Amino acid sequence: MAAILRQRLTSYKRQHSVLSVTQPLYFWFEFASTYSYVTAMRIEAEAEKYGVHVIWKPFLLGPIFAKQGWNTSPFNIYEAKGRYMWRDLERLCAKHQLPLHPSVLTGIKPFPQNGLLAARVALAALQQDWGEAFCRQVFAAQFAHGLDIAEPDVVAKCIEEVGGDAEAYMAAAKEEEWKQTLRRRVEEAQHLGIFGAPSLVVGEELFWGDDRLQDALDWACS
């Protein structure tokens, strides 16, 4: 019933041109993050229902984990937590009809993958109208197709598949400008108190996890 009422309110706002009262939602994600995959593949469709503008913010969790004394994901450090996460990912992908490559679950590929190159490219790509599609393509390459996103050929293919200039954007990823931009992005995440991904920021409110997407959207509309 609550969901129906929210949809009716959104429909009313559309009809009366007051969607501008919604706040933007900042979507902080890490390409190696399993739950970021789930959110990335559905956030735009969900946000559209409420007229909420989503701003994509790629960053790296590695430096944030390092400050907590971790040299890998907590899902690797704590066995029970990791076991739960993989099963939960299966359930979520089934629920949202998202493809999940068998190699992701069997450990054939290392976890977490190295998303450094993809993150640098994403920062540059998000200046273009195909940037968000590129981000989804990278997530799909890793989780739907079982590819290694640390491989330059994989990232280049993702650029090409969404209409970008692979040669230009792969070169941009090596430029100091985008290296520094990514470092500043991580510092910004730390300043905001972000400790995991996905993180959803609305105003001064922080929501952590794919399961908080609805709460973040509700807050953006409040």
| Residues ≥6 apart with Cβ < 8 Å to 67 | 190
What's residue 21's pLDDT?
78
What's residue 5's pLDDT?
46
The pTM assigned to this predicted structure is: 0.90
Cα–Cα dist 75/88, whole Å: 12
What's residue 17's pLDDT?
40
- Radius of gyration of the chain from Cα atoms? 18
Structural domains present in the chain: 24-221 (3.40.30.10)
What's residue 16's pLDDT?
42
SS3 assignment, position 71: coil
Say if CB 207 and CB 219 are below 8 A apart: yes
Which stretches of the chain score pLDDT less than 50?
A: 1-2, 4-5, 9, 11-20
What's residue 6's pLDDT?
52
CB burial of 121-156 (b: ≥16 within 10 Å; e: otherwise) equals: bbbbbbeeeebbbbbbbbbbbbbbebbebbeeebbb
